[in-house]
Structures are given as C-alpha cells and as structure tokens.
Amino acid sequence: FDLFDLTSMPTRTQTRQLLDSYTGMFANIQRLYFNNEVRYTRPICPMLFHKAKISELITTDLYESSIGYNYPKFLDFFHASPNHSDYYELDITIQQLNLYKNYNLKINSQFLNLQMFKQLEQLFIGGMIAEIDEEAFKPFKNLRSIYLRLDNLRNFLHSSNNKWLKYLNYHLNASECLMDPYDDCYKKKKVEVMINLNGADLKEEDFCLFKHFPRNRFIQFKFLDKNIQQNISCTTLWLIETRLSISSKFDKALKNCSFESRLDQCFNASSNHIIKNFEYLFNNIQFEVIFTWIEFVGPVLTNSIVSFIGLTFNLIIVLVITNKSNQKNHFKGELMFKIILFNSILN
C-alpha cells in the first residue's frame, strides 16, 4: 500500500494500471536471501515481487511458538484461485525456495502463497516443522523436488497424518507416460521427495504413517543418508518400490510385505493409530520448546524477581528508619541514616 500510494484495496482495473507501470523491485535479482535479522511484522503483498525472476529465495530462522512468530505471511491480494472474478495473474518466478533452521514452522497456503510460488520447482525445508497442511502442495504444477532435512523428523511424521503426500503431483495425467523410472516422460513429470533420516531407518510400525502415499502419481522417495540394504523395512519398500528394478533383489521381501493387507489394517485401525500418535508425542517432549521459552521469558522473569526483592528490602529500610521509636533511640541526628533513607526512597 505504501509503495503504490494506496489507501484501500484497488479494483482490478486499477491493479492492472499500477502493475503495468511497475518496473519491479526484484526484477534484476537472481538470488534473494532473508537472514535471521529480518522481522515479518505484517503480511506481505505479492505485488512487491511482480516481474521478479528469482532462481533461489533463501530464508533462515523462521519460527512459530506460544510466545510469537516470525515468518512471512502473504496477502491473498488477488484471490489465488484463477476462477475468482477478481483474479489477476502476477508475473512472479521463484524457482527454488530454501528454508533453513526453522522452528515449529507450519507449511500452509498462507505461507506458500500461490501467486508468489506458482513457478516453484524445488523446495528445501530444514530445522523443525510442526506440520504441512493437507493441500499445501496441491496447486503447484511445476514442483519437482522436496528435500526434508528435519531435526524432528520422526516427531513430525508421527504427529501429522501425512495427507499432504496424496496431493503431490495432483494435476498429473498419468496416462501420458509409462510407469517406468527410466522413461523420459516419467523423468520429466516425476516429483522427488528426498528425506534425511539422520542415520535411522523407517520401522515396520511406521507403515501406516504413509498410507496416503499415492504410488501412481510419479513420486520417488529417496533417503539420502542411508544405503538401501536387503533387510530394510516394508515401510521403506512401500515408498521406494516404484524405482526398483523389476529383477530386483528385493522381490522376495516385496512379496512378504503384502502391502494390500497392511493398508487394510491401517484404515481399519485409524483410532488406535491416533492414540499411538498421542502417546508418541507425550513421550517425546521437545526440550527445544522449553529452552526457547527460557530464552525469551527467562530474562524478563529474572529482572522482575530481582526488582521485587530490591523493592521489598528498600521498603523495609524505609519503615525501620522512619519508625518513631527507632528515630528516638538509634537514628536521631545521624547523617548516614538520612542518606540511606534517601537512597532507599529513590530506589
């Protein structure tokens, strides 16, 4: 509003006139970096990025907690749905979004604004995230890779229903390509989900966490820090089967996994799964929450306590010195006590 000298929401005609004459604040910037000193105090209007051609946008230390938040929220200025009567197509290209050192971040449509990230191809998320909204990736037709390097990976997987998986590559027309990882059409349209497991493996009991995984949507899972061994879990095989060779050494393991039977059990035991997730969260309290709370509240609480103690002692001194009996017997005419009284009143 300040940049375009606006006092209210412009009409579609006014918007078109404004943006046609707008040269673009980020028009000549290839790589944009918002460091941890940036404060997102109010929602950002996507108009600022009109005509931007950014190959890489980097942010760091985004967070949300009970104390406050610091991450960008974007105004739905032109109504993100192209079917809306007030829709206006902004010319914004951001190919890669890297989110480093996040804490308790929520990935949703308010954050991944369609007008801002319509051309997004690569997404990296590091640190800790609270959730990914079910339809967060649904509108993004060009998204080709998601890399999760999370410090709270298992906690995240257990605390969410992971329904965001079923909306990856949502607009794919699978009939156009062969379901073959070596097919050129498949390679062009596939979405890679890369996960750093921090040296761990997905366990057998984790299978139901991925029951919404759409295996006919050209989605390839890759675990970047783990060598695929013959004794890996059925959970891992469920996610990577589409990129295994037909003559793979995992054929026997795949038959023993009986995926259809496992899926039936998952959907028939949804309530028990929710209870297990709750128990998992209860038994895996993130101490980072406590440390963050201490970091923000600790100094304020400490200062308040010290101030209260100082005030109490000064009040006691004033009461003792001004007591009539003490003035007659102990403090009468003493300059030192007058100075102490004066100092206590000032404090």
| pLDDT above 70 coverage of the chain, percent | 71
Q: Which residues contact 239 (CB under 8 A, 6 or more apart)?
A: 202, 210, 213, 221
Q: Report pLDDT for 285.
A: 46
- How would residue 198 be classed by pLDDT, with cut points 50, 70 and 90? confident
The pLDDT tens digits for 159-182 are 878 999 999 999 998 788 888 878
Q: Which pair of tokens denotes residue 164?
A: 């965001």
* Spatial contact of 60 and 36, defined as CB atoms under 8 Å apart: yes
- Rounded to whole angstroms, the Cα distance separating 239 from 30 reads 35
The pLDDT tens digits for 70-108 are 999 988 765 545 555 556 678 999 999 999 999 999 999
Q: CA nearest 146: which of 107, 175, 199? A: 107
- Rounded to whole angstroms, the Cα distance separating 64 from 103 reads 7
Q: Which residue has the higher pLDDT, 129 or 317?
A: 129
Residue whose pair of structure tokens reads 């004033």 in the numeric block: 318
pLDDT, average across residues 32-44: 92
What is the pTM for the complete model shown? Answer: 0.74
Q: Is the pLDDT of residue 119 over 70?
A: yes
**Distances 82 to 50, 74, 89, 119 between C-alpha atoms, Å:** 17, 17, 8, 15
Q: Is the pLDDT of residue 291 over 90?
A: no
- How would residue 135 be classed by pLDDT, with cut points 50, 70 and 90? very high
- How would residue 282 be classed by pLDDT, with cut points 50, 70 and 90? very low
As to burial, measured by CB atoms within 10 angstroms (0-12 exposed, 13-18 middle, 19+ buried), residue 59 is: buried
* Spatial contact of 57 and 96, defined as CB atoms under 8 Å apart: yes
The pLDDT tens digits for 58-69 are 999 999 887 788
Q: Report pLDDT for 283.
A: 46
- Rounded to whole angstroms, the Cα distance separating 115 from 140 reads 10
Q: Report pLDDT for 338.
A: 64
